[in-house]
Amino acid sequence: MSPEPSSSDYIHLLVERIKAATQHCTRADGSLQFESDTMRRDLIVAAEQLLMAARSPEETLFAIAQQPAQNAALRCLIALGILDKLPLNGDSCSLDDLAEAVGAEKTLLGRILRACTSTSLLNETSELHYAHNALSRALLPPANRALVTLMYDYIGRGVFALPEFLRERKWQDPGSYADCSFMLGSHTTLPMWEFYEEDAVCGKTFDLGMQSEMVPALSSGKQGGNFPFGRELSLPNTTGESQEGDQPTIVDLGGGRGQGLQDIRKNHPELSAARFVLMDLSAHVYYLRRCLHNWDDGACKTILSNVANAMDATRSRLLVTDMVVDNEGAARGAAWEDLGMMAIGGIERTERHWRDLLDQNGFRVHKIWRDDSGGHATIEARLK
């Protein structure tokens, strides 16, 4: 029988797991380096379980309920421009100087900064003095700030409106792209992408946020996902050399500004002669990177049908890089992100859901390419 989550034996087991994981990591360039991402994730899980075991259930529930306040503190930190006023070398800055620099009332700013330091978003070096740390430095790239802003200002509105939205639908369905909780939370008749086109601030925030390295860092750390493009798409002839006419064409459908294709080209120099395009016909590879999760199954049927009609039945393949949620025991981040996508009419799909969706729209799953980090994967599919 397993020990109870709040028992001393259970806590000792977690401590031993943490100690074992730390034996497989070293510090380099100011950060921890692990032998594998599996070991790193095991340390994170054990540490979170230890925190929950040390807290009472009531404390844990209250901590969860307080998370909107933490998110608000982070959003205020970005909106105030505090990050740009702190010395990059790690020196501290006083509350007086920061208040003058950003034009905020001192007492109000102090309360916001107190909330930030309490969750390690900044360092409090001494009373009313603040400095950068690893978390705040991760927010220095404008694209990372834009992604956080997008999640709070736009996706967040829909998430907060979900209980009211679903209650009005009598808890029978999550809505659709054209009728979603984002529209309720944002007080608009426009769904997300029409709103994006109409609202210049939203459009600019989204475009910049999609260039953030924060999302790829949650999976393989690469915009291009974990599919081995070079190995799978290199086409040697009988002499072992690739002929010019054999070089593949990789089409990124809905690929933003092409950052995914740029990443593939950078990480797979053996495909230097391949054609990389954002949209084309009769290609070897049709690549959908973090697109289908934006849409409900009905909209995905239209997208997949159009792709299938353009594909060559003998040589083309479809690659879908997206969140693949475990069929059971889903990770917290994946489950929470699914609610974020529900707010705009999308879905983070389980492996079973992906297989059913592709099968119903003319595809068979050839292989799912995963890596140690979990979460995002690349689904390789062919026409049936």
Picking from 56, 43, 53, the residue whose alpha carbon sits closest to that of residue 16 is 43
Is 353 annotated as catalytic?
Answer: no
For residue 77, give both structure tokens: 């930190």
**Active-site residue (options: 284, 293, 366, 376):** 293
Long-range contacts of 193-201, Cβ-Cβ distance < 8 Å, separation of 24 or more? 193/294, 195/154
For residue 106, give both structure tokens: 């001192």
Long-range contacts of 36-41, Cβ-Cβ distance < 8 Å, separation of 24 or more? 36/372, 37/371, 37/372, 37/373, 38/372, 41/372, 41/373, 41/374
d(CA 312, CA 281): 9
Nearest-Å Rg of the Cα atoms of the chain is 23
d(CA 298, CA 305): 11
List active site positions: 293
